[in-house]
Amino acid sequence: MARVYNFSAGPAVLPEEVLKEAADEMLDYKGCGMSVMEMSHRSKMFQQIIDEAEQDIRDLMGIPDNYKVLFLQGGASQQFAAVPMNLKKNGKAAYIVTGQWAKKAAAEAEKYLEVQRVASSADKTFSYIPDCSDLDIDDDVDYVYICENNTIYGTKYHELPNTKGHTLVADVSSCFLSEPVDVSKYGVIYGGVQKNVGPAGVVIAIIREDLIPEEVDSTVPTMLQWKTQADAGSLYNTPPCYGIYICGKVFKWIKKMGGLDAMKKRNEEKAKILYDFLDNSKLFKGTVVPKDRSLMNVPFVTGDADLDAKFVAEAKAAGLENLKGHRTVGGMRASIYNAMPIEGVKALVEFMEKFEKENA
């Protein structure tokens, strides 16, 4: 069966090369006679896999030496709790609410500390990023939290907020490795890998070492203390071995493609094709303020729910899958992560043109 163009927001399309290589190695990884899935996480071979993966992501993102790279589990959602649990000192944090995921993170944090919601774009269905140049942030907050790319609404911070010297924590689940990033501007960067980086089940957290506390409240579960995994090189317990192995392959694929500068260029090119079409269409309309548009998630509507449903169904029949918008917003959303080929975006736009002619 031919592969479809998969516009899922996550789990999402992965590079075909990576999948093929993994398939070739499925029964016998590098002559050891077993799959990585069957391998002890304490073996030399797996240690090499995780070490190489860490080195490759360090190279790609230019991660400074004073940052730890942790391969974790529990989804990005578990870090919604781990972040306040580990960073709590004064017991207060500032959250910028730009969508469901930031909202959920703030609600979770509120179980452990006082949350100040210093800005929000809820007034316009999260269709923009609020001005974060001069936020009213208390001096004693432990950190400022953002969701850098809002998967559901298709917005992205193209400029980081002015945290007024406070530690910046960012959930980058849906923009991980999609463009170059200056890691030194963040205290913590984390994300689930199931969009741009690998299969569901792995969370990567990049944490400045001085933010990993020696001691936390005694009620914090051992597995949620960053120090537990930082001291153990992400091997305190059995890690998601196969997922880490695939992430490692994706890192090598990105390196081969030319690194994050090349990824950005490729992603800009793809997104431009779709946004240019939306800006000129009489039927389809993008839902995001142009200056805050994401390169990764592109939501759009016709304005008629029945027509939207027809579009999604006909697109699926044409091999363009998973274009239905998030259940909380409706309409359509095309997620065009790193691994989506430019041909996929062109095929989508061609289909939209045809649909527009037939349904105008």
**Residues at the contact surface with ligand PLP, assessed by CB under 6 A:** 10, 75-77, 101, 147, 151, 171, 173-174, 192
Is 22 within any annotated ligand binding site? no
Which member of 56, 68, 156, 171 is catalytic?
171
Q: How far is the CB of 101 from ligand PLP (least distance, A)?
A: 4
Q: Is 48 annotated as a binding residue?
A: no
| Alpha-helix residue ranges (DSSP H) falling in the chain | 16-24, 44-61, 75-87, 100-109, 226-231, 241-257, 259-280, 305-317, 342-359
Burial of 336 (C-beta count, 10 Å sphere; 0-12/13-18/19+): buried
AA letter at 212? I
* Tokens read off for 242: 């196969």
Closer by beta carbon to ligand PLP, 154 or else 284: 154
Dihedral over Cα of 270, 273, 189, 184: its sign: positive
For 106-174, the DSSP string reads HHHHTTTSEEEEEEE-GGGTT-SPPP-SS----TT-S-EEEESEETTTTEE-SS----TTPPEEEE-TT
Q: For residue 194, say whether it is annotated as part of any ligand binding site.
A: yes
Establish whether 226 is a catalytic residue: no
Tell me if 6 is assigned to a ligand binding site.
Answer: no
171 assigned to active site = yes
Alpha carbon distance, N-terminus to C-terminus of the chain: 33
Name the catalytic one among 88, 195, 264, 324: 195
Q: Closest CB to ligand PLP belongs to which residue?
A: 75
Task: Please say which residue, 195 or 252, places its beta carbon nearer to ligand PLP.
Answer: 195
- Cβ 294 vs Cβ 300: under 8 Å: no
User: Residue 74 or residue 233: which is nearer to ligand PLP going by CB?
Assistant: 74
Comparing CB distances to ligand PLP, the nearer of 175 and 263 is: 175
171 a known binding residue? yes
Q: For residues 171 and 179, which CB has a smaller minimum distance to ligand PLP in the complex?
A: 171
Residue 228: which of 217, 243, 215, 210 has the closest Cα? 215
Can you tell me the distance from the alpha carbon of 342 to that of 339, in angstroms, rounded to the nearest whole number? 9
Catalytic residue among 56, 68, 92, 101: 101
In terms of DSSP H, where are the helices of 281-341?
305-317
100 appears as a binding residue in the annotation:
no
In terms of Cβ atoms closer than 10 Å to its own Cβ (0-12, 13-18, 19+), residue 19 is middle
Cβ closest to ligand PLP, residue 46 vs residue 101: 101
**CA angle 312–273–263, rounded 5-degree value:** 105
Residues 6+ apart with CB under 8 A from 287: 125, 127, 153, 154, 299, 300, 301, 329, 331
185 is known as an active-site residue = no
Least distance in angstroms from the C-beta of 149 to ligand PLP = 6
Q: What is the CA radius of gyration of the chain?
A: 21
Residue 101 annotated as lining a ligand binding site: yes
Known binding-site residues for L-glutamate equal: 42
Residues identified as active-site? 101, 171, 195
Known binding-site residues for pyridoxal 5'-phosphate equal: 76-77, 101, 151, 171, 194, 237-238
